[in-house]
Structures are given as C-alpha cells and as structure tokens.
Structure 1
C-alpha cells in the first residue's frame, strides 16, 4: 500500500466519505485505482466467527470452524495474565490463516448487575482485574499482526434497550469504575480499534459523544487509532466525525455517504476533520494488509490443548466438604443431568463459535477413561422447566447403585445471551428438585454448574462439592474430568461476587431501566457494594478452593512513608503447605484508613498467580504507584491521593486476608476548595480564616456548661429536663449566609463577602 499522505492527495471528497462506512457487513471499502485495498473484520472475542455465507451479527448463520476458548467470564476466573496473552496469540494465528485483519474484542465492560445477559463476554466486576485481562488479550492478538477492537465503549451494562438507553453516571464513578476498565488497555496495549457502544451516556450516543471520544479517549488517553461503531450504532455520523469518531459499520447505504459529503459542502463538517478520520482508517487498512501472511496455518490440536489449559485454570471450586474431591477412578459414579450430554460451553449471540472440537462428557469418559464405571441418567428436561418423573426415577436408580453422584446443573441455552437480560438469578426449578431428591439417597453429590454469570445457590446445602465451570469453551469436558479425578488441582478464583439473592445486588431496585438508567449506586459495584453495606454473600470476589493449601508470610515493603510521586515495592512469601502441586492467585488490596470522600472498604490493586510444588516457597512482588492510592477528584479533574495512612491487605480472596501492613502516603498536590456563602460552620472551623472568625463570633456568646457541670447533669436522673445540650454541634451545619439571617443584623451581609474573599484568596 502506498504512502498514506500520497493517497490523501489523490482522494476526492466523495471517495473520502465512502471510506467512512463499511463496504459489506464485514469488509471495509476498497478503491483499487487509488491503491486502497479492503480488509476483513470478524466477531470474536474468544474465538473466530468468520462467516462464509449469509452475514449477521447475532450468530445465526454458519461460520468456519475455529477454536472456542473460554469466554471472558470464565478466563477472568483464571486471573492468569500470561495465559490470556497466549490465547490472544492463538486467536491471532487463526485470524492470519483466515485473512482476518481485525478481531472484534475483547469486551471490557464492568459487570454492574449479574442479570446482564452478556456478562459471559465480560471479565469482571472490578476494573483493575478487567483491564489487566483485556490488556493482555489485546497484546497477544496484536503480537501476530492482527488488530483488535476493544469494546463496548462505554457504560454498556445492560442488554435491555441497549440501542437507546441513556446511562446517567457521575464523573467520579465513570472514571473510577466504567472507564478505568478501558483506560490502561488503551494506553498500554494500544488496540487498533475501539468500538463505540450502542447506548447513550449522559444524554449523548456513544458514537457521537464528545466527552467519551474527544475529551477522554483522544485528548486524555492519547488514542490515535480508529473508533468504529458497534454494528448499527451510529446515529449522526457527521456529529461523530466532528468528535473524533471514524468508521460506521456495516454498510448502511449510499445516503449515509451523501450526508458526509453534504456536511462538508455546507460547512457543518470541516474537511480537515474528515481528513483526520480518513487517515486513521487508511492507517488501519495499511497495517491490516501489510501484516497478511498468505499460506499461514495454525495447529488445531495445539490450540485445543491451550483451550483445555484455559478451562482448567478457569474452573472455580466453590465447595468441597470432607474433601470429597478428587474422586478415585475406581469409584462407581452416577453421571446425572442433561447438561452432561448437551454440554453448554459458550453463550449466545455474536460471539457464538463453530468449534473445531465438539465433545460431551460421556464421549470424553468413554474415550479417555475406559476403566471408569459409570451410569448415566438425564434427570431433568432441558428445554422445559418441568419435572419429568420418569427422568427423575432413572436418576434415583442410577444414584442408588453408585458410590458417588456427579450432577450437572446450570442455565439452558436461551436463558442468557446477547440481546436480552435475565429476569432472575435462578437455575431451573426441575434441577433444584432433582438435587433435593438425590440428596435423600445419602450419597456424596458433586455438582458441576454451567452459567456465564452468578446464580442464586441456596440449593448448594444439598451438595458436598460444587464447581463453577462458567462457559469454559470447547475443551471443557476433558478439563472437567481431569479436575474430577485429581489430575490437576483447581486454581480458579471468582472474578465476581455470588450474592445470596438478587435483592442484595447494588442496582436491584431499578435494573434494567428502559429509558434512563440511573447509576445511583455510584462507585459501589460488586464487592465494593457488599463490603460497604456489610452484606453477607454466598461466595466472595476472589474466592476459590484448591486440592492443596497455601501459607502467606514475610510481607515486606521498601518504605513505610512515601510521597504520591514515588512507587512502593511490596513482596510476600507464599508456601504450598499441602501434598499436591497447585496454583495460587495472590491478591493485593488497598484500604484508605480515613477519607474525606466515600470510598470502598478496600480495592484490588495487584494480583499474581504462582505455581508451587508441595513444600515450595516463592516470593511474589508488587509495585504500587499513585493510582493505587488515588481517587478521581472532580474538583481538579484529576487523580488525587489524600495524605494519610493506607493499609495493604494481601490474601487468597477479598475476605480471606492473610497478611497486612500500614503505610503513610503524602500528597504532593494541594486542592484548593472554592467556597461560597453556603459554606457551613463546620467547614469554616477547619480553616485558619474560619477559626479566627468563629473565635470572634463566639466571644460574645454566653459560655455553655463546663465539663463538670455536664457530668453533674448526666448523673441527676431525677431531673430529666436538665440535659447538657451541645449548642455548638447544633449549629455546625448552618450556612454562613444564614448566620446573617439569624442574628438580626449584628452579623452583616458585608462580612460574608470579606470572609469568602479571605477563604478563596
């Protein structure tokens, strides 16, 4: 492809405008006579969905075979940055074989509510974990010369009315939660494209949102790649181009091109703005074409093996009473549940992959575990939530003759998908009924749960062990059996909280909303909310059991006092104190011991996953910087660290803290507050000017009772009316201007301006 500036010199206005939307559903526009080829983009994010026939963005029509890796909700539970990088590399290799230039993903949206139908495509409820995983996904794919599309930017947290709903979010919440999940991905991994979401944010559609695209993405984060629409998300492309938006997808008709031409001609759109957009699109096309490697093939078996490794590390062992797991191959087992045969290892919608390998549990048992004696029974209907007594009886008979029962439960196809949100957090009633009946047999019951998001689990008291498998990809059956028989110890940790009930979730009172989605919970999403409210949960963020055990010790910091411009080095020793090899995810949280603004009890600020042999000890190291202690201060429109003590909490989950240390961080930034006439007496008293004023004002007032007199009043139980009132406390919330109103002119209004001038200058 020629030099971009040379091409720009030859393009007509009509040609420039034509480049700003797709040529087809998946291809960009080509202009051969000007040396501009077309590139192909396709859906991801956890597999390649390249369609060969009819095109759609809902996963309805056929696509080529590709490796179906665990979805983001599953791989997020691995907490393994190196692993998701390798998955990214594998995805890049498959794109090269199929001549795909951009893979649409990953999704970095925050899991605001577990009801969101698309949560299986997102990593976490926590922005630090989400951005860490997304960043490595992007870097892995792009290391192969294939682009990514970081999506859905931004605040796309419900599927209900997703194309029109207006998300109303305050700036601090946006910055700390919803944009933070994208920020480090954009800055550090530099995705070739960022996909603007369907919804509106604070009144403006994402594809035309000045605050999101121009102010944050372009200016603040320095992003110079292509901003592409979600398919059909553009509403006013001329306005969008003025804000830094680039590429409308898919092709929507020539009238869309004409709108851009007319806008340039009538002055609504400066041609210089259009030129900036076209340059970015041409650079994307240039990178896409120059990185093509005709004849490239990928190793299907190697990619399947990687998918199995990912499924193994993503599985979360939630419960293991009396160490019922792992089981012996000599145990006679009952395999029960339609989901054992009709395995659900991915979600529905645009990410649905035509897997290269499609096996189910029984096939895997027959092929690779011929020595295992098992009996299978369906147990429940999968398409209808109805109790089938014949199925139940078969399951009970199988259970009676078994040593252990392995029961497969979860959400059927159609219960969670792109395009709609769940109405509740329950699994089908017929599955719960079956578990209850099987529990009466007195046999150990091991449950494998399949769902792309949390479910209510008040039924798990009838199970001895529970695995959360999520949507773990095509290799899930083989991974599941390796975990069952103890070939591998589980190492997954929950990337989201499992609440006790839907009513406990942060936005349960108003989720989903149809027109205006008000994010009233603010920064308190996920574990931040449950901990602040002191609400019990079923399974906490970061939680997951192992077949071995780990000990923490020797927490070290390189300094206990630091300025916010310095970095802090932290280390801790982890020892495998059990009898088998295992992996542990070491989690570091930071707690601000005293803050002037509402904050979470603690926040995740670092994590590392380590592999340890029995008896082995390794030192895990973290580096914390200003952002580890900062909140977004809207007064200065920047990240700000308050001087004070911060606690470093290191442990195995958000509630299982093993070691801690307290440090002091000194702020190097002075925040000057702008005071007005409604400054309160309490606020005044905390300033030098205010203290002087308060002293003068109080000088003419009668003194209250002494401490001795107060004590005497409190001891006199016979005079109930004689109570030592704290009149100073009663006036703490009185605004300065009201002092004028309440003093009959003795405190003049002119004095208010004098005090405000002194405070603000």
Structure 2
C-alpha cells in the first residue's frame, strides 16, 4: 500500500473510530458541501503545509498533508492514454511491467468524427484508465488551435475551428471527470508553435485572441466544467502565460473558473508574478537541485522557499496563498477524497471497442474517383501494400502524448486478416525513416516496391508522417513529403495500376500527385485499433464518415499564417497578422483554393438535403431559434453524415468572416431513410468580440444560416433577423 494511502486510511477512517465522542472533522465529511470542507481543512493547515501543497514533490505529484489524512495529488500525461510510470525525480522510465495502457486516437482523429457522443465516450474511457492507475489529474485534452501545418503538436489538438474544438473538448472533460478524475485543459494560451516555445511573445489582436484562441478553452471550462487548466510556455503581452495578469483575469474573473491553474513542466519563471497572477500549482521547474547537493530540490521552486521567505519577511501577505490552497483542496475533494468514485479499469475489451468505434468515424475519405473504394475482393485478387506506415507503431513516441500501449494493430496485419485466404497480399516497405540520409537504401527500397507493382491488381500505399515529425518540441521545417515519399508515389503511378493512398499524421505534405490517384484516405493516429479501423474502411466493413477538422492546402505555403503572419517569428516575437482569418476563414476571404476544404469528407453512400425548417425567422436577444433539416440517404449503404451549420453576417460594423461554424449534427441513416439534423441558435452565436468595449456584441440585422456537408459544399440556406 502506498504511504499516502496508509496515512489516509489511518487519519480518515481508523483514528475517528477510536473515540465514539470524537467529532469527525468537517473536511472528512463527504456529506457536507465541498466549500465547507475546504474552509475547515484550510483552517487546520500551517503556513509551511500550505506552501508545500502548491508545488511539486516529484515529477508528477504534489504533497498532501499526512497528519490530516489529505493525500498527495497525483497527475500524469494522457492525451492518448496514461503515460508509463517514470522514476520519482527524472524523465527516465521506471521500467515497470504493469503500466501498459489502451492507446486512444489522437485528438485530431477524435475531432474528425464530429461526434459529441464519441468525445464523451473517449473521455469516460480514458478517465477509467487514469483512475485504475491511481491518478487524480489527466493532463488532457489539448485544444490549441491549428494555426499552421508545421506545428509538431497539431496531432494533439482538435483542429482549426474554435467552435468544433470547444464543443468536443467540453464532452471529453465531462467524460474524464465522470470518474472523479480531473481533466486538465491545456495549454492556455496561444501555444501554436514548438519553435521558441519557451520564450516567444505572441502579438495578437484582442479580437483574434477571444474569437479564435480562447473560445475552445471557454467552452471546456464553462460548458465542460473543467477542474484544472495548464498554462502555456510562451509569452503574451510580454508576460509568460503561466503567470499572466491578463489571462488570469479572463480565466478566474470573467469565466469564474474555480479549479486549479497549474504550470506546464518548466513553465514557471518568476515568484512574484506567480503569486499575484494566478498560478496555483508549480510543476517541473528547472532548478537542477538533484545534482547540486540540495537536500530537496523542490524547495527551490518559485512557489516554495522563495515564497515562504517573502511571507515571513512581511513583504507579501497570505491572501493569495490561501486562494491557491483552497483551489487545490477543492480539487482533492473532487478527486482522491471523493469516496463515491470507483476503481476504474484498464486494457479492457470495452476500452478497445471504444478506440475502434472512434477511429472508425475519424478516418476521412478524401477522394474516391470511380468508387474504387471499398476494394472489391472478388475483383482485386492480388493486392500490393507499400509503405513503412503499414508496419510502423504510432503510439510510443511524440513527446508527452506517447504511451506504452498494451497492443497496437498494424495496418498490414489487419489487411491480411481481413482480405481472407482468397486474396494474395504482398508487402514492400518502399521507404525508410530509419536512415533517411542513406540514398542507396532509399533507392533500393523504392525499386523493390515499383518492380512488384506488375504482379498486383491494385496498390494500397500507406505512408504520411510518423512520430519523428509529429512530436512535441519540434516543428517541421517545410511541407515536403518526408523520406522522399512523393517520388515513390509518382513512380508507383507510372506503372498504370490503381493506387489508393493512405496517410497518417496530423498535417499534410504537399501532394503534386493528387490528381493522378483515384482514391485517398487520411487516418491521423488511431491508437491501439488503428490498423483494424483502416482495414474495415478499405474493404467496406465500415462506411467512412470522418470530416476534416482542418483545411488541407494544395501546398502548405498557402496557409494564411504563413502568407500574412509571421512564423516562427524573430526569436523574440511572433505577430499573428492574419488575425481572425485562420483556416477556412482565410480561404473564404482571400479566394484560396485548397486541396480539401474544412469539413470535407466523403462516404460510400450519398445524402441529399431538404429545405430547412425554422421555428421563427425573427428573434431578439434571449430567444432561441430551432432549425431542422431533413437529410436522406439516397445510396445503397448504411452511412453517417455530419450536417454543418455556418453563420454569415450580411452587414456588420467590423470585418467578419464569410462564414463561421456554429453547429453540427451527425446522423446515422439506413438506405432510403430520412432524419432531421437539429440546430439551436441564439444571439450569442451571431456575436463578435468588440475590442472597443471589451465584450461580445451581437448587432441587430439579417444573417444567413448556411447548411452543408463541408465549408465549401453548402446545400441550403435560410435568412433570419436579430431585432
């Protein structure tokens, strides 16, 4: 039994039983209001105990108060699963044999499902694994905006649109916290590049900050009820985001966040700013104390001995300290001292089913010329699979999102299993990520793959990025296809056999070959069941229904952040000159023709949209309009369609995007079946952030509601008026 649990059992359960007359302290009484328990516990703490609680005692824990039976707070990374156990004081693996976990789809893949229910399901399932591993806080989800396609952590986030990211994040948070495990929404804010992330100052308008970069956080906190938030490494307005006066006001005053605001590991830089600008819990500060002879390196954290000395000298008071400790106690009572939470589960069949269901809906069918997909096993008896990603693992690396997965189904194995005995499957590696500088090996692998095409009826190419490119702490230098994959694909196409291209990764690489290939799937990073889901889509056991949560450009250099804005900046500052025009907003405003539009995704069946019905065409602030749209499956297969609703402001006092996503509804339809997509719109959905007044404004006037299958495939529209 862990030491913290021994103290908890003794103080919270055994000791009170020794005396019938002894009155249970309020903080141990689950039947009392949490705020009563918080104040009671706070009143019993010494100054030194309070200081100890607001900074780490190891890589992933902060101390409780043993004499009061208050346990330590245990946190862990986890966007794609619970990270393996590390040594107490280092980043090295503890080499345990019982810390494997289920690997969940990356959040880009989850966002591509456009399915609120699946977002909650992933959160709930993920939370169960954290609970079983004894963790109190899951450092997830990440919801920074996909500003440009070079960021190494884009795969951890949920795309370019703040509405989609915010709605999905709120559901993940609810799911995680249904287990009595806190979700930690990260990274507040403007962490949109890995280059210079520890020092760069982001210069952005107030409007873009609120409309694009904060909206997802606002929804995760207000709608999702997140219990903790993590700061970003970078600066905003010249202050580090971990202790930023302006962001703290938004978080704790405007949004009334009552949880714990914690630092990213090594994100704290100043004691006084941390005291007064809202940092509650400090992790990972680089004191190098473990090698400099200090008995306890954690006492050198900014919110440790330096803070204690300021209080004892009378330079600062304890008001801010008490607020920090209240928040940490509140978090503990919601998690580890919540006796109603269960025990969790890990690596269960149910969790594998969750992963598979999510990834099935996350895969996006980008192109399907001549309906070559799904592959007909009666027609194509000899299939050549080419590409290292058919064999690669995508769960282990990538920075803090890497996990020790109990298993991972590789695409090549799933394809062989699903093809059956009557189809011949041949595999050729085609390219190598291990020795990209070795031209001789590269040419040899390419030649072997190309020479095998003549003996095949169809080629399935499985490539894209891997966790050497999509990883924390690094951005890509360009958007060229890694490992010379573009040349390999061009050589395969010259053999005049149909080539189906499958790509993994969060980002695109330039695809000059796109017009020559008949079919293409984008599969992100799919977790433990990644290969299974891909094979099911390829052979038609699953009808793809994913929609892009990002814009895929013809070349990455078409992205507004790279055309108008600065990236990565001059090492000190980066200016977001594209302002609110991120992703499809930029595409619409400047007439850019991307390869695939935001919201795009094909199906093996077809859907037709009927005329929308609206509850009323004129309304006032405080009212809600309900819109319903009939959608019919006119094809021959069961399928799922995500109906998207965008808002267009006919006339405004400020420049507004051509359209903004404000609703989506995913329907499951049998052949010939009709269902209604339902949306609700209020004045808030029509508003913009008014920089002059520092508030959200919905101006009276006419608006168009645009309803479609993607941002570029608008099927119906209806006009409404806000009075």
CA drift of 1:154 comes to: 0.7
Q: Distance in 1 between matches of 2:393 and 2:126?
A: 23
Contact kept in structure 1, 2:356 and 2:530, CA below 8 Å: yes
Q: Which residue does the alignment assign to 2:316? A: 269
Q: Which residue does the alignment assign to 1:734? A: none
Contact kept in structure 2, 1:448 and 1:466, CA below 8 Å: yes
Matches within 5 A, 1:90-101: 90-101=125-136
Matches within 5 A, 1:35-46: 35-46=69-80
Q: Distance in 2 between matches of 1:412 and 1:71?
A: 12
CA drift of 1:665 comes to: 1.2
Relative to 1, partners in 2 of residues 1:180 and 1:283: Cα closer, same or farther, differing over 3 Å? same
Q: Which residue does the alignment assign to 2:508? A: 454
Contact kept in structure 1, 2:110 and 2:119, CA below 8 Å: yes
Q: Which runs of 5+ in 1 are unaligned?
A: 667-761
Relative to 1, partners in 2 of residues 1:241 and 1:337: Cα closer, same or farther, differing over 3 Å? same
Relative to 1, partners in 2 of residues 1:357 and 1:299: Cα closer, same or farther, differing over 3 Å? closer
CA drift of 1:152 comes to: 0.2
Q: Which residue does the alignment assign to 1:753? A: none
CA drift of 1:626 comes to: 1.6
User: Tell me, what secondary structure is at the counterpart of 1:281?
Assistant: helix
Q: Distance in 2 between matches of 1:61 and 1:539?
A: 44
Matches within 5 A, 1:495-514: 495-509=549-563, 510-513=566-569, 514=571
Please list the CA deviations of residues 594-646 of structure 1 after superposition, one character each: whole Å capped at 9, or x if unmatched.
22211111000000111100000001111111221100112222111122111
User: Tell me, what secondary structure is at the counterpart of 2:73?
Assistant: coil
Max Rg structure: 1
Matches within 5 A, 1:53-64: 53=87, 64=99
CA drift of 1:253 comes to: 2.4
Q: Distance in 2 between matches of 1:192 and 1:39?
A: 13
TM-score, with normalisation over the residues of structure 1?
0.85
Please list the CA deviations of residues 488-523 of structure 1 after superposition, one character each: whole Å capped at 9, or x if unmatched.
110000000011223211121521122101111111
Q: Which residue does the alignment assign to 2:112? A: 77
Q: Which residue does the alignment assign to 1:377? A: 428
Relative to 1, partners in 2 of residues 1:62 and 1:414: Cα closer, same or farther, differing over 3 Å? farther
- Within the candidate set 56, 80, 85, 1:51 is matched to 85
Matches within 5 A, 1:96-495: 96-213=131-248, 215-250=249-284, 253-256=298-301, 257-291=304-338, 296-298=344-346, 300-330=348-378, 331=380, 332-344=382-394, 348-371=398-421, 372-385=423-436, 386=439, 388-428=442-482, 430-495=484-549
Contact kept in structure 1, 2:145 and 2:157, CA below 8 Å: yes
User: Tell me, what secondary structure is at the counterpart of 1:605?
Assistant: strand
Q: Distance in 2 between matches of 1:462 and 1:415?
A: 26
Q: Distance in 1 between matches of 2:73 and 2:567?
A: 39
Q: Distance in 2 between matches of 1:547 and 1:10?
A: 64
Contact kept in structure 2, 1:651 and 1:658, CA below 8 Å: yes
Moved more, 340-349 or 489-498: 340-349
User: Tell me, what secondary structure is at the counterpart of 2:490?
Assistant: helix
Contact kept in structure 1, 2:162 and 2:216, CA below 8 Å: yes
CA drift of 1:267 comes to: 4.0
Q: Which residue does the alignment assign to 2:646? A: 589
CA RMSD, 1 decimal: 1.9
CA drift of 1:121 comes to: 0.3
Q: Which runs of 5+ in 2 are unaligned?
A: 1-11, 13-26, 28-36, 286-296
Contact kept in structure 2, 1:341 and 1:362, CA below 8 Å: yes
Q: Which residue does the alignment assign to 2:30? A: none
User: Tell me, what secondary structure is at the counterpart of 1:569?
Assistant: strand
TM-score, with normalisation over the residues of structure 2?
0.89
Q: Which residue does the alignment assign to 1:756? A: none
Matches within 5 A, 1:518-537: 518-537=575-594
Q: Which residue does the alignment assign to 2:66? A: 32
Relative to 1, partners in 2 of residues 1:581 and 1:58: Cα closer, same or farther, differing over 3 Å? farther
Contact kept in structure 2, 1:238 and 1:259, CA below 8 Å: no
Matches within 5 A, 1:550-569: 550-569=607-626
Q: Which residue does the alignment assign to 2:52? A: 18
Please list the CA deviations of residues 386-439 of structure 1 after superposition, one character each: whole Å capped at 9, or x if unmatched.
463332232123211111111112124412210011111121253111211111
Q: Which residue does the alignment assign to 2:685? A: 628
Q: Distance in 1 between matches of 2:529 and 2:316?
A: 51
User: Tell me, what secondary structure is at the counterpart of 2:399?
Assistant: coil
Q: Distance in 2 between matches of 1:347 and 1:71?
A: 12
User: Tell me, what secondary structure is at the counterpart of 1:289?
Assistant: coil
Contact kept in structure 2, 1:71 and 1:346, CA below 8 Å: no
Q: Which residue does the alignment assign to 2:6? A: none
Q: Which residue does the alignment assign to 2:15? A: none
Q: Distance in 2 between matches of 1:44 and 1:197?
A: 17
Relative to 1, partners in 2 of residues 1:57 and 1:536: Cα closer, same or farther, differing over 3 Å? farther
Q: How many residue pairs get matched?
A: 665
Q: Distance in 2 between matches of 1:333 and 1:62?
A: 41
- Within the candidate set 593, 596, 604, 1:547 is matched to 604
Please list the CA deviations of residues 66-98 of structure 1 after superposition, one character each: whole Å capped at 9, or x if unmatched.
111111111111111100111111111111211
